[in-house]
Amino acid sequence: MELRKPPPVRRLTGYEVPSSPPSNGNGLHAAAGFRLPARLGAPSMVAIDRMQVEELSVSYGHKPAVQSVSLPIRQGEVLALIGPSGCGKTTLLRSLNRLTELTRGASLRGRITLDDVDVAHMDATALRRRVTMVFQQPNPFPMSVFDNVAYVLREQASRRPRRAAVQGAVHEALARAGLLDEMAGSLDHPALRLSGGQQQRLCIARALAANPQVLLLDEPCSALDPVSTRLIEELIAKLREDVAVVIVTHNLQQAYRVADYVAFMYLGELVEYGSAHKMFGSPREQRTKEYIGGAFG
């Protein structure tokens, strides 16, 4: 799939690199009750517009889930969607690759573009190869580690190209997910025998195998232990250079650790969108302040 035109490249502003994270001595005023953890990785200095959400509303039957949300999604940045349960963040995420279509009764208004093409006009399977997704529960397919990744590289249900032909790409995807060294000797083992953390990183490797432009993560660490969580967060920080990352999370500390931009949603509305720096430092909205401060959620 070719890009229609080169996407605009922009320098980020207002992003001074924090010099000494432990003291948070970077001029941030943390909202009451929220201790700022150390951020992972230096922020990327370029950002490429990938997706644009314009006035998106989604409802299930008569129940609105997302109400006229607009925000940009850029490569080079990690966007975190935060908010209490049922606020529509997962629905928003699932609209980006048109997974909402699979839910009966779901209806969608507004526009989402990927590289300036309306996703509604794209073939759903083609879109989903460019905007891949990782789920809350690790869900490797019941096949070997190798085949889990190779499945993505092959045409639909086909078993071709053969193993030798996809080996390079499979190894590359596993390497990008930081799993290649660990899995070197066990590529033929059933993926469901791996530990939860390894399974989730395999799911990330699988999602990266198609070389997507956007990677959607739906609470990828909520079923994992702290060590696996750490590994995945480091991975996300590394990945944002090559792929736009959108992560839904319930964990504010995690949002702070990995996100460059944060969107706070509440009752289906986008309450506030801004840089992580601003959202965690001095949010504009009272509700954001309360949520980040732990008043509700």
Q: Cα separation of 115 and 138, whole Å?
A: 29
| Closest distance to other proteins from the beta carbon of 184 (Å) | 23
The Cα–Cα gap between 12 and 30 comes to: 22
Work out how close the CB of 119 gets to other proteins at its nearest, in angstroms, rounded to a whole number: 13
Q: How far is the CB of 173 from other proteins (least distance, A)?
A: 12
Report d(CA 73, CA 116) in Å as an integer.
Answer: 12
Rule CB under 8 A: say whether 157 interacts with other proteins.
yes
Q: Are 143 and 190 in contact (CB under 8 A)?
A: yes
Question: Binding residue for other proteins (CB under 8 A) from 178, 210, 238, 278?
Answer: 210
Q: Which helix (H) or strand (E) holds 104?
A: none
Q: Which of 59, 91, 95, 97 binds other proteins (CB under 8 A)?
A: 97
Smallest separation (angstroms) from other proteins to the CB of 115: 16
> Side chain identity at 92, as an amino acid letter?
L
* Nearest distance, CB of residue 2 and other proteins, angstroms: 17
Within 13 Å and on the Cβ side, how many CA atoms surround 124? 7
C-alpha 4: how far from chain center: 24
99 binds other proteins (CB under 8 A): yes
Residue among 139 and 251 whose Cβ is closer to other proteins: 139
Straight-line distance from the first to the last Cα atom of the chain, in angstroms, rounded to the nearest whole number: 41
Query: According to the binding rule CB under 8 A, does residue 112 interact with other proteins?
Result: no
Binder of other proteins out of 59, 132, 213, 275 (CB under 8 A): 132
Tell me: does residue 142 bind other proteins (CB under 8 A). Answer: yes
| By CB under 8 A, residue 146 contacts other proteins | no
